[in-house]
Amino acid sequence: MVCLLMNNDYPINEENMPEIIAKCGLLCNECEAYVATINDDHDEIARMAKEAAEKFGMQINPDDIYCEGCTTTSGRLSSYCLNSCEVRKCAVEKKVDNCAHCDDYSCEIIDNFIEQGLQIPEFQEKTFNAKQRLDHLHGNL
C-alpha cells in the first residue's frame, strides 16, 4: 500500500513508513485508523466504523476514527484517543513522549492497559510488543 504522509511529497509504503511510538508503546504506524487517515482513505474509515458496529456493537461515526497518531499536537485524533485513553491523558499531563519516559513507569494505568490488551486475541501480539518496547526504552534512559 502506498500512502502520502502529510507535508511530504514522497510516497511512503508500509515497509518504510516511519515508526511512531504511541504513549502506550503501540506503534501508530501499525494502526488501521492511522494508516487510513494518512492515506485519506474514506472508504477504509467507513469500513472500520461498520466493523465496529457489527463486531463490538459500537455505533461509531466515521469522523471519530480519523487519527494522525496520539503523539500529534495539531493533527486529528480518534475520539477514543482524545476522550477515553487514560494512558494518553496521563502522558500528556506529565509531558512525556510515552510511558517509558515517566518517572512512575510502570504504573497502574499502563499496567491495566496492557492487561486489557492481552485479553483480546487480535491485540495480544501488538500489546505484548508494546510492553516490551516500553520496557526496552525505559531501561535505556
- What average pLDDT does the segment 54-83 reach? 88
Please check the confidence at residue 6 and state whether its pLDDT lies above 50: no
The residue ranges of every structural domain in the chain are 2-139
Per-residue confidence (pLDDT) for residue 73, from 0 to 100: 85
Please check the confidence at residue 29 and state whether its pLDDT lies above 70: yes
Which has more confidence, 13 or 128? 128
Per-residue confidence (pLDDT) for residue 104, from 0 to 100: 96
Alpha-carbon distance 18 to 34, whole Å? 12
Q: Please report which confidence band the pLDDT of residue 16 belongs to, taking 50, 70 and 90 as the band edges.
A: low
Per-residue confidence (pLDDT) for residue 5, from 0 to 100: 39
- What average pLDDT does the segment 19-23 reach? 92
Q: List pLDDT tens digits, range 101-116.
A: 999 999 999 999 999 9
Are 51 and 43 in contact by the 8 Å Cβ rule? The answer is no
Are 33 and 45 in contact by the 8 Å Cβ rule? The answer is yes
Nearest alpha carbon to residue 22 among 11, 6, 13, 33: 33
